[in-house]
């Protein structure tokens, strides 16, 4: 070998050695990269093993079985596969729906009906007769539906694919599903020796390989019951949403954003439920949540149920009775807002005060009718003229902001005007003489809670009116209700000012518990309902609750049935347990179409369970209280459950870790929806 050849050989060997080194280095890099990649998902898609058995398929460490439907219930039921959908386990339901030739199906059912009719005429067996009549009835129904263009015909195929990590778990799941199918009157079979075709048919690949074994003829009406879209959900989650409870069927939250006017027609709510079903607890919980959201809250509390919880959160409780020192002057004008229905004149800066006075006089007519129920039109006219004279000084004012409580007239001023009329115009006085003597009791007698200048303040976020003392003072109860509503309505109409200061996020809620007490007076009913219809305009809502649904439905107001009108004007309705007659009255008078399960739930009267209707949506819901809500709403139950003193607030920070970032977000949250 020459020297040149030797050099070439060395170069060649060096090159090969270098190439070998590069190959090794590349392989090492590949191994390093491979170790960084999780190939588990890839193996799940592309399993390393696929084994077909007679009763199942083994694939990727899982055991798979398919159940094919061969018969269905004779009567359709909306979403009748819901029990299977909510079952725990790896379950997949696949369905194929294919159209059929309508003429062929019509001929089929027509021939079927004629054949069954002929067989019926020949047989004398009672059992066979019943069977044939049922088959004829079914065929006749299908013919009628099709001929009236109410439905067409389709073929339906249904498969259930189940998976488990062991054969034992697979068989347990199979047994559980079979029991459910029996309950639903569905026949399901495992296609032994056809498991491969069944497996591919159950996948979303549009490969229905078992048509001849699984087809079922149906009309389109019955086929619609297969679709899983009647599981009503009321779940609109946002920072402004209120959580009402938990969906009893799906366990999802029942949440409503009442400020979303695109979804919520109005914020009014009506609650019905007998004593002991959780109605008051639900209202207390709702009040707590609204307080947490910073909403303005007014509570009409006829039985002193909410005083403790209002005082706990620093709210104001106003106790009203004939001996209380609290006074709401019925003559005072609390808002400079003119309502559309009451003032039809064009409003200018010069005549606004006059129109406000006229508006107040219209409301006072109702108040006086409460005092004297048989007041005639002539009496009302004379008293109105006296009242207008009492506001002469106020007419000179340009703005109510500069007017104090003492600038308004009081009942005593009206009484003195009647006395002057007694001297100056005997004829007119003779007409209002009875009213004059009744008014004396409201000025100097035991009913003097209306005489004087207003001495309460509604600036607090939460204000409750305790009317429990008035339950024994029937003659002033109606007047007190009307006076409070008039006062609160004026305060609520100031919402436009509040909205301009809070970017429109301000809202107010009026709670009226034991609503049937309000219905004892016609005038208070009329005023409340007129306000009830207009709450939406001022971004407010009323929550009325009662356990005496029969009294509510019987109540009337000037234009019709009050109970029906209030319920119909409530976009949200909550029905707790009701007695049998109450359910029948709701169906008859309100034309509410309750299903059999809904009727059963209402009549069962289970504590903490209710049917909520939100517009056209309705769900069963459970009212589940948090630990703190239970402590505040039901101290006795809290003590029983947690073995702790309800008067002592637990240290929740020990049970819940909140990161510094979350704490900062909470502190900076302004309540606005992003």
Binning pLDDT at 50, 70 and 90, where does residue 401 land?
A: confident
Condensed to tens digits (0 to 9), the pLDDT of residues 252-276 reads 889 999 988 888 889 999 998 888 8
Nearest CA-CA partner of 234 in 541, 612, 626: 612
In angstroms, rounded to a whole number, what is the distance separating the alpha carbons of residues 391 and 374? 26
Q: Cα-flanking dihedrals φ and ψ of residue 313, to 5°?
A: -95, 15
Mean pLDDT across the stretch 79-106?
79
- For the cut 60, the answer to whether the pLDDT of residue 352 exceeds it is yes
In angstroms, rounded to a whole number, what is the distance separating the alpha carbons of residues 315 and 459? 10
Angle between helices 411-424 and 377-390 (to 10 degrees): 110
Give the dihedral sign, CA 259/260/262/268.
Answer: negative
pTM over 0.95: no
Binning pLDDT at 50, 70 and 90, where does residue 464 land?
A: very high
Q: State residue 283's pLDDT score.
A: 94
In the block, which residue shows the tokens 């369970």? 609
pLDDT cut 70: percent of the chain above it: 83
Specify whether the CB–CB gap between 595 and 581 falls below 8 A. Answer: no
Condensed to tens digits (0 to 9), the pLDDT of residues 119-135 reads 888 888 888 888 888 88
In angstroms, rounded to a whole number, what is the distance separating the alpha carbons of residues 266 and 532? 10
**Which H or E run includes 117?**
helix 102-122
Burial of 159 (0-12, 13-18, 19+ CB in 10 A): buried
Specify whether the CB–CB gap between 363 and 397 falls below 8 A. Answer: no
- For the cut 50, the answer to whether the pLDDT of residue 653 exceeds it is yes
In angstroms, rounded to a whole number, what is the distance separating the alpha carbons of residues 485 and 76? 50
Name the residue with higher pLDDT: 139 or 599. 599
Binning pLDDT at 50, 70 and 90, where does residue 621 land?
A: very high
In angstroms, rounded to a whole number, what is the distance separating the alpha carbons of residues 317 and 307? 6
The length of the chain in residues reads 674
- For the cut 50, the answer to whether the pLDDT of residue 572 exceeds it is yes
Binning pLDDT at 50, 70 and 90, where does residue 481 land?
A: confident
Q: Which of 3-12, 283-292, 464-473, 647-656 has the lowest mean pLDDT?
A: 3-12
- For the cut 60, the answer to whether the pLDDT of residue 584 exceeds it is yes
Condensed to tens digits (0 to 9), the pLDDT of residues 310-345 reads 999 999 999 888 778 888 899 998 877 776 544 444
Nearest-5° Cα angle at 144, 141 to 149 = 130
Specify whether the CB–CB gap between 122 and 145 falls below 8 A. Answer: no
Q: State residue 673's pLDDT score.
A: 45
Q: State residue 37's pLDDT score.
A: 55
Q: State residue 20's pLDDT score.
A: 61
Condensed to tens digits (0 to 9), the pLDDT of residues 412-457 reads 999 999 999 988 898 999 999 999 999 998 888 877 788 899 988 8
Burial of 314 (0-12, 13-18, 19+ CB in 10 A): exposed
Helices (H) and strands (E) in the chain, counts: 26, 20
Mean pLDDT across the stretch 461-484?
85
In angstroms, rounded to a whole number, what is the distance separating the alpha carbons of residues 379 and 418? 12
Burial of 235 (0-12, 13-18, 19+ CB in 10 A): middle
Long-range contacts of 335-339 (CB under 8 A, 24+ apart): 335/489, 335/490, 335/491, 335/493, 335/494, 336/399, 336/400, 337/490, 337/493, 337/494, 337/496, 339/493, 339/534
Q: State residue 41's pLDDT score.
A: 58
What share of residues in the chain are helix, strand, coil (percent, to 5)? 50, 15, 35
Q: State residue 466's pLDDT score.
A: 92
Q: How far apart are the first and last CA of the chain?
A: 86
- According to DSSP, the residues that pair with 58 across neighbouring strands are 51, 63
Q: In what order do the strands lie in the sheet with 253-256?
A: 253-256, 242-247, 617-622, 609-614, 572-575, 269-272, 540-546, 508-512, 296-301, 462-466, 316-319
Q: State residue 664's pLDDT score.
A: 79
pLDDT cut 90: percent of the chain above it: 21
Specify whether the CB–CB gap between 568 and 533 falls below 8 A. Answer: no
Condensed to tens digits (0 to 9), the pLDDT of residues 503-545 reads 556 788 999 998 887 777 777 777 888 888 888 888 889 999 9
Average pLDDT, the chain: 81
- According to DSSP, the residues that pair with 508 across neighbouring strands are 296, 540
Side-chain half-sphere of 195: how many Cα atoms within 13 Å? 18
Q: State residue 490's pLDDT score.
A: 83
């Amino acid at each position: 070998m020459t020297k040149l050849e030797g050099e070439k050989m060395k170069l060649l060997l060096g090159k090969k050695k270098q190439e070998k080194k590069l190959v090794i280095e590349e392989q090492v890099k590949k191994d390093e990269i491979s170790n960084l990649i999780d190939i588990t998902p890839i193996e799940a898609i592309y399993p390393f093993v696929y084994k077909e058995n007679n009763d199942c398929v083994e694939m990727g460490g899982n055991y798979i079985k398919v159940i094919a439907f061969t018969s269905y219930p004779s009567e359709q039921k909306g979403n009748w596969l819901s029990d299977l959908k909510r079952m725990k386990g790896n379950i997949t339901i696949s369905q194929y729906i294919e159209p059929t030739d309508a003429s062929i199906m019509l001929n089929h059912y027509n021939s079927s009906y004629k054949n069954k009719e002929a067989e019926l005429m020949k047989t004398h067996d009672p059992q066979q007769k019943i069977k044939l009549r049922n088959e004829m009835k079914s065929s006749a129904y299908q013919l009628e539906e099709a001929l009236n263009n109410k439905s067409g015909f389709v073929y339906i195929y249904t498969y259930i694919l189940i998976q488990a990590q062991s054969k034992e778990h697979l068989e347990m799941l199979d047994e559980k599903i079979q029991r459910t199918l029996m309950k639903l009157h569905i026949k399901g079979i495992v296609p032994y020796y056809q498991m491969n075709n069944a497996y591919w048919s159950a996948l979303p690949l549009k490969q229905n390989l078992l048509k001849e074994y699984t087809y079922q003829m149906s009309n389109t009406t019955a086929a619609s019951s297969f679709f899983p879209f009647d599981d009503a959900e009321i779940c609109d989650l946002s920072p402004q949403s209120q959580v009402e409870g938990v969906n009893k069927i799906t366990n999802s939250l029942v949440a409503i954003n009442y400020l979303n006017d695109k979804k919520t027609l109005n914020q009014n709510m009506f609650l019905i439920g007998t004593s002991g079903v959780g109605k008051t607890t639900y209202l207390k919980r709702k009040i707590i949540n609204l307080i947490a959201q910073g909403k303005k809250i007014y509570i009409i509390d006829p039985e002193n149920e909410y005083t403790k919880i209002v005082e706990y959160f620093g709210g104001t409780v106003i106790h009203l009775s004939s001996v209380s020192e609290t006074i709401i002057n019925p003559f005072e004008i609390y808002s400079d807002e003119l309502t559309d229905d009451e003032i039809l004149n064009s409003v200018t800066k010069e005549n606004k005060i006059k129109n406000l006075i006229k508006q107040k006089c219209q409301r006072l007519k109702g108040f006086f009718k409460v005092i004297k129920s048989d007041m005639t039109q002539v009496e009302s006219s004379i008293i109105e003229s006296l009242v207008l004279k009492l506001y002469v000084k106020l007419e000179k004012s340009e703005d109510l902001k500069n007017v104090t409580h003492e600038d308004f007239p009081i009942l005593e001023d009206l009484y003195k005007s009647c006395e002057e009329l007694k001297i100056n115009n005997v004829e007119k006085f003779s007409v209002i003489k009875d009213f004059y003597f009744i008014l004396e009791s409201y000025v100097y007698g035991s009913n003097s809670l209306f005489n004087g200048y207003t001495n309460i303040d509604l600036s607090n976020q939460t204000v409750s009116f305790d009317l429990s003392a008035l339950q024994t003072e029937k003659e002033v109860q109606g007047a007190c209700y009307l006076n409070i509503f008039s006062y609160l309505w004026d305060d609520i109409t100031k919402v436009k000012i509040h909205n301009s200061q809070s970017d429109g996020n301000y809202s107010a809620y009026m709670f009226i518990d034991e609503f049937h007490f309000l219905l004892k007076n016609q005038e208070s009913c009329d005023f409340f309902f007129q306000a009830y219809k207009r709450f939406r305009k001022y971004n407010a809502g009323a929550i009325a609750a009662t356990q005496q649904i029969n009294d509510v439905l019987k109540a009337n107001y000037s234009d019709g049935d009050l109970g029906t009108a209030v319920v119909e004007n409530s976009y949200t309705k909550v029905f707790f347990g009701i007695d049998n007659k109450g359910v029948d009255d709701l169906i008859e008078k309100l034309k509410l179409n309750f299903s059999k399960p809904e009727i059963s739930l209402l009549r069962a009267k289970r504590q903490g369970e209710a049917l909520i209707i939100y517009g056209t949506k309705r769900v069963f819901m459970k009212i589940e209280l948090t630990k703190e809500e239970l402590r505040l709403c039901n101290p006795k139950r809290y003590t029983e459950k947690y073995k702790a003193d309800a008067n002592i607030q637990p240290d929740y920070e020990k049970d819940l870790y909140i990161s510094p970032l979350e704490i900062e977000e909470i502190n900076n949250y302004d309540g606005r929806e992003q």
